[in-house]
């Protein structure tokens, strides 16, 4: 079984990065901000960033805000706020003994991605590290393409991630889809996309692996 993992929200907690970018941009523009306890549930419910900043009357800067946010979302200064979710290194080390592990992320910039993976000591666990979307692709299509690029013919696969892009992209590649509740989307949102399995976090994966590893008839 080939196990493909998303990164942000699946293996690492990137909520501080998201909130600090929001906070810094609005404060720099002279606007009030929502507390983190209000901001993150809006993100979890897939409320668009444009609608979030409108709640503190910052709609007039929405276009500039979104451009700057896109420029900063993978900035190493903010990426250093990310933290490994509990138990991730131990889980990957254990799974690596009997499964092929790959990383499939929508991160666009390869150099800061690899630098962060080195800092977090994650590179050692993955046979393949796939990243980036291509022009004209939807985000689920990008995930599907990246998964297909690393699979051998008829190789069984599971895609583990925290967003609808992981569920839809994995399904498009013929993978078993496993949603985790540690990321940017809440459970109610994820369930709309009907993942095959839903876990609280990736450390629960070994509980369902026997079901995944059973040969299909």
DSSP per residue, 77-111: HHHTT-EEPTTHHHHHHHHTTTSEEEEEE----HH
What pLDDT is attached to residue 206? 95
Same domain, 209 and 159: yes
pLDDT digits (tens, 9 = 90+) for 16-50: 999 999 999 999 999 999 999 999 999 988 899 99
Q: What's the pTM?
A: 0.93
The pairing of strands 12-13 and 2-5 is: unpaired
Same domain, 25 and 67: yes
Count of C-beta atoms within a 10 Å radius of residue 132:
14
Contact 49, 65 (CB under 8 A): yes
d(CA 154, CA 24): 47
Same domain, 97 and 45: no
**Is the model more confident about 182 or about 214?**
182
Q: How many domains does the chain have?
A: 2
pLDDT digits (tens, 9 = 90+) for 155-196: 899 999 999 999 999 999 999 999 999 998 889 999 999 999
What pLDDT is attached to residue 155? 82
Q: Decide which of 33, 61, 79 is a domain's last residue.
A: 79
Residue 217 has pLDDT above 50, yes or no: no
CATH number at residue 135: 3.40.50.1000
What pLDDT is attached to residue 215? 56
Helices (H) and strands (E) in the chain, counts: 11, 8
Backbone angles phi, psi at 101, to 5 degrees: -115, 135
pLDDT digits (tens, 9 = 90+) for 76-107: 999 999 999 999 999 999 999 999 999 999 99
Same domain, 28 and 67: yes
Tokens of 7: 């990164």
Same domain, 143 and 181: yes
d(CA 51, CA 22): 12
> What mean pLDDT comes out for the span 127-135?
93
CB within 8 Å of 101: residues ≥ 6 apart: 2, 3, 4, 5, 92, 95, 125, 126, 127
Put residue 132 in one of left, alpha, beta given phi > 0 → left and psi -120 to 50 → alpha. Answer: left
Same domain, 59 and 102: no
Same domain, 122 and 201: yes
pLDDT digits (tens, 9 = 90+) for 58-76: 999 999 999 999 999 999 9
Same domain, 67 and 151: no
Structural domain harbouring 34? 15-79
């Amino acid at each position: 079984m080939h196990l493909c993992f998303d990164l942000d929200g699946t293996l690492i907690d990137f909520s501080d990065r998201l909130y600090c970018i929001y906070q810094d941009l609005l404060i720099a523009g002279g606007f009030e901000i929502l507390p983190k306890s209000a901001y993150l549930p809006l993100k979890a419910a897939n409320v668009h960033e444009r609608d979030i900043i409108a709640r503190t009357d910052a709609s007039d800067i929405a276009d500039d805000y979104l451009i700057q946010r896109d420029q900063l979302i993978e900035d190493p200064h903010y990426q250093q706020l990310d933290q490994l979710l509990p138990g991730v290194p131990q889980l990957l080390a254990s799974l690596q003994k009997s499964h092929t592990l790959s990383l499939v992320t929508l991160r666009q910039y390869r150099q800061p991605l690899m630098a962060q993976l080195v800092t977090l000591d994650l590179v050692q666990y993955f046979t393949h590290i796939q990243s980036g979307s291509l022009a004209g692709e939807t985000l689920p299509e990008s995930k599907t393409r990246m998964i297909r690029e690393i699979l051998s013919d008829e190789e069984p696969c599971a895609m583990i991630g925290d967003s609808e892009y992981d569920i839809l992209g994995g399904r498009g590649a013929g993978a078993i889809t496993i949603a985790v509740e540690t990321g940017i989307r809440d459970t109610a949102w994820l369930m709309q996309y009907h993942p095959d399995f839903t876990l609280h976090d990736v450390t629960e994966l070994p509980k369902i692996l026997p079901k995944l590893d059973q040969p299909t008839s």
